[in-house]
Amino acid sequence: MTRMSTVVSVVALAGLWLAAVSCGSRDSYVAENWIAAWNSHDVEKLTPLFTDDATYEDVTFGEINHGSGELRKFAASFFDAVPDMRMELIQSSIENGHGTIEWRLSGTDKGVYKTGKKFSIRGASILKVREGNTFRNLNFYNSAGIMRQVGLLPPEAAK
C-alpha cells in the first residue's frame, strides 16, 4: 500500500466515523430540543421537531393527535391549561431512532381540572425518530398524582 492510498483510507474511515457520530449525536439532541420546545410555550418551536405525519399520544388521557395540525391544537390547549408549565429533563436514551425521555412536569392547573393549584409529576415519553424528527410520541404519567396535588383526590395514605 502506498503512502497516498494509506492517507486516502484514513480520510475515508474518518469520514465514515464522523457520519456515524453525526447520526448518533442528532438523536442525543432530540430530548433536549423536545424539553426546550415545550418550555418555550410556542407551538411554532414545538411542531418542527415532529414529522408532518407524526402521531402524538397522551396515553394517560387517551388523546391521540395525528399530524402537525392536531399536534399544534393539542400543544396550544396545553399551554393555555398550564400557562406556567415547566419541563425538566431527568434522563433520556435515544439511539437508532428509538428511545425514551424521562421528565418532570410542573405548573399551575388553570384548565386541566381548573383548580388554580400547583402540581409536579414525573413522566416518560417513548419516541420513534426519523431523520432527527419524531414521528411517534407516547406520553405516560400518573394523573392521580396530579389530582391528589390539586385537591381532587385525597392524599396518598402513609406507608
Over the stretch 95-107, which tens digit does the pLDDT of each residue have? 999 999 999 999 9
pLDDT band at 159, cuts 50/70/90? confident
Tell me the backbone φ, ψ of residue 117, rounded to 5 degrees.
-105, 155
For the record, the C-alpha cell of 104 comes out as 418532570
Domain-wise residue ranges, the chain: 29-149
Task: State the Cα–Cα distance between residues 1 and 20, nearest whole angstrom.
Answer: 26
Model pTM greater than 0.85?
no
- Are the beta carbons of 58 and 123 closer than 8 angstroms? no
CA gap 146, 155 in Å, rounded: 11
29-149 topology per CATH: Nuclear Transport Factor 2; Chain: A, (3.10.450)
Residue 129: strand pairing partners:
134
Strand partners, 106: 86, 120
Instruction: Count CA atoms within 13 Å of residue 102 on its CB side.
Output: 5
Write the pLDDT tens digit of every residue in 107-141.
999 999 999 999 999 999 999 999 999 999 999 99
Which CA distances in Å does 53 have to 63, 116, 140? 16, 35, 21
Confidence of residue 26 (pLDDT cuts 50, 70, 90): low
Q: What angle do CA 113, 88, 59 make, to 5 degrees?
A: 50
- Tell me: pLDDT of 4 over 90: no
